[in-house]
Amino acid sequence: MSTLFGENAENFWKMIMFPAFEATFQMVIITTILGTVLGALVAIILVVTNKNGMHPNRIIYKITAFLVNVIRSFPFVILMVFFLPFTKSIMGTSIGVKAAIVPLTISATAFIARLIESAMQEVDPSLIEAMKSFGISDIRLVCGVILSEAAPAIVSGIIVATVAILGSTAMAGTMGAGGIGATAITYGYQSFNYEVMYVIAFILVIFVEVIQGAGDYVYRKMKNSKK
Amino acid sequence: MIEITNLQKTFGELEVLKNISLNIMDHEIYGLVGKSGAGKSTLLRCINGLETYSAGKLLVNGIEIKGLNKKELRLYRKNIGMIFQDFPMLSRKTVYENIAYPMKCWKYGKDDIEKRVKELAGIVGITDKLEQKPDTLSGGQKQRAAIARALSMNPEILLSDEATSALDPVTTKSILDLLKDINEKLGITIIMVTHQMEVVRSVCQKVSLLENGKIVESGDVQELFLKQPEAFRRFLGNEEITSLPEGVNIQIMLRKNDDSGKILSRIAKELQVEYTVCGGKMESYRGENLGDFIINIKNEDAPDVRKFLNHEHAVWHELSGRS
């Protein structure tokens, strides 16, 4: 008898699968948004305080870069456990979507910060110099020139990050966050119900394809909107 | 007016600029030439504060650049346009938005911006390209857009850092003509950093030659050409004369508006001296032709020829036999 396509399949989809998708969507979307905002801030700090930046500051740069590297070198599962007390203290719980978002965001921030930083560093230094030669303020230089020029590369970086976050949510799922990953493990792997596992894997592949496709489309739009 | 006195810049041990002194008058086109790494681009960037200097004075209209704070420096830069070798543009914005960008940042009114961009596009000749993205433009068109952008806030001074080095000869000429035009019509002082002698010849009135961070020769372009000081020769690299024939070799300079062009035939007629022409060229300096001949004569004829040339007030140099 099939869980997903048999007589009682409707209930299984309604009770288990759809809520799991919803939890996964929530985690991925919220984490991507928070990670992008915070990651951009960290990236700006890195670019501005870099020794070739607008306000070189060794101490701030080194500390920020070190923190980013530390977070990036933790495997996500370890990071999640490591931050459990912290998560509990700010969210009041250590299970569920709300709790999972904390470590997911911390991990995504570090990842996205590096992606945005490298995208910003790809901007032509000669363009930055030209803009300075017109007496443009530093804030405009960062927000109006560098971020705007780097935007297509930043978008493709965020897409890479979103796919990685999707992967992390599955791991978070095993620690009580719920979501599609947790369903695959609990109702598929641990219940010896491989049909559930394979169907979820297939759906995840489609998710990734959709995310990547949408990202590529936006990237192309931004990159060659030639008239 | 730009007054530079004993300007020095060091990067640790490395002296990038050594005791640079020069004055640039208003409305002039001034060339800074030299090989790569001579310090000319660094000197140029000192003028608009993109680079700092270690010692010495740099006064622009009587104001010391080093003494400006950040905000004053930004205001000061508004008054100085700059163009670059690779004509950097905001790739995601149209040509119109690119030219308008500095004005937008300085909060000019929308109508003023539109009027100014259209006017500038007319001056530089890219009116039909305004709605395109910079990537669709050729190098010369991009440089024109960059010039329009540099002129957008009515600067008194335009700095050009190898602005034609990445362009083909025909485009180079058209950009140089445009710069000369801008200098004449708008009275903007232009300082041109270049390694191309052609640029100096066709637009610059005065020039300083830099070598290893020092000015080795300065002066009026046409005078320097006639005098041909050693450093100038080194830079020009009279490569065509690698070995001169035996005997005495004399380079006679052809000036504008005088009879120096006839001097060769007079040597033949009046001195009855036989010579071999073994080199020579004509070049246009800001539209005027200057040139030189190199002749080879026998040793025994040399005293007469020297005397004759001096008597005629000809500009000439005896070339040492470099072989």
Domains identified in chain A, total number = 1
What is the average pLDDT score of chain B?
A: 89
- pLDDT of A227: 40
Residue A51 touches chain B, beta carbons under 8 Å: no
CA angle A26, A31, A36 (to 5 degrees): 140
CB-based contact B90 A127, cutoff 8 Å = yes
Q: Give dist(CA A92, CA B246) in Å, integer.
A: 99
Domain extent for A182: 17-223
Phi first, then psi, for residue B279 (nearest 5°) are 180, 165
The partner residue sitting opposite B90, judged by closest CB among A129, A145, A225, is A145
- pLDDT of B284: 81
ipTM: 0.83
- pLDDT of A188: 84
- pLDDT of B323: 41
Residues B119/B151, Cβ–Cβ less than 8 Å: no
Taking one residue from A and the other from B, the number of pairs with CB-CB distance under 8 angstroms is 71
Residue A140 touches chain B, beta carbons under 8 Å: yes
The partner residue sitting opposite A129, judged by closest CB among B50, B106, B136, is B50
**Residue A74 covered by a domain:** yes
Query: Which residues share a beta bridge with B80?
Result: B157
**Residue A180 covered by a domain:** yes
CATH 3.40.50.300 for domain B2-233, yes or no, is yes
- pLDDT of A226: 46
CA angle B133, B138, B139 (to 5 degrees): 110
CB-based contact A136 B73, cutoff 8 Å = no
CB-based contact A132 B77, cutoff 8 Å = yes
CB-based contact A225 B92, cutoff 8 Å = yes
The partner residue sitting opposite B91, judged by closest CB among A126, A134, A149, is A149
- pLDDT of B267: 87
- pLDDT of B234: 79
Has residue B56 got a pLDDT over 50? yes
Looking at chain A, the whole-number percentage of residues with pLDDT higher than 70 is 98
CB contacts, 8 Å: B102 with chain A: 134-136
**Residue A4 covered by a domain:** no
Residues A81-93, mean pLDDT to the nearest whole number: 90
CB contacts, 8 Å: A227 with chain B: 94, 131-133, 136
Instruction: State the angle between helix axes of B110-124 and B95-105 in degrees (0 to 180), rounded to the nearest 10.
Output: 130
Better pLDDT: B233 or A83: A83
- Local structure of A8: helix, strand or coil: coil
Has residue B239 got a pLDDT over 80? no
Query: Whose structure tokens read 């250590």?
Result: A94
Q: Give dist(CA A152, CA A155) in Å, integer.
A: 5
CB contacts, 8 Å: A119 with chain B: none
- pLDDT of A124: 93
| pLDDT tens, position by position, B134-180 | 999 999 999 999 999 999 999 999 999 999 999 999 999 999 999 99
Residues A138-165, mean pLDDT to the nearest whole number: 94
Please, which residues 129-148 of chain B have a Cβ atom closer than 8 Å to chain A?
A: 131-133, 135-136, 146
Pairing of β B248-254 and β B288-297: antiparallel
CB contacts, 8 Å: A51 with chain B: none
Domain ranges of chain B: 2-233, 244-319
Phi first, then psi, for residue B68 (nearest 5°) are -80, 140
Q: Give dist(CA B163, CA B158) in Å, integer.
A: 11
Residues A146-168, mean pLDDT to the nearest whole number: 94
| pLDDT tens, position by position, A49-75 | 999 888 899 999 999 999 999 999 999
Q: How confident is the model at residue A37 (pLDDT cuts 50, 70, 90)?
A: very high
CATH of B244-319, one of 3.30.70.260, 2.40.128.20, 3.30.565.10, 3.40.47.10: 3.30.70.260
Question: What is residue B52's DSSP assignment?
Answer: -
Residues B94-122, mean pLDDT to the nearest whole number: 95
- pLDDT of B268: 87
| pLDDT tens, position by position, A193-214 | 888 889 888 999 999 999 999 9
Residue B84 touches chain A, beta carbons under 8 Å: yes
CB-based contact A134 B92, cutoff 8 Å = no
Residue A218 touches chain B, beta carbons under 8 Å: no
Q: Give dist(CA B22, CA B20) in Å, integer.
A: 7
Q: Shortest Cα distance from B178 to chain A (angstroms)? A: 20
Residues B20-49, mean pLDDT to the nearest whole number: 93
Residues B199-217, mean pLDDT to the nearest whole number: 92
| pLDDT tens, position by position, B254-309 | 877 677 778 888 888 888 888 888 888 888 888 788 888 888 898 888 898 999 98
Residue A127 touches chain B, beta carbons under 8 Å: yes
Residue A148 touches chain B, beta carbons under 8 Å: yes
The model carries a pTM of 0.84
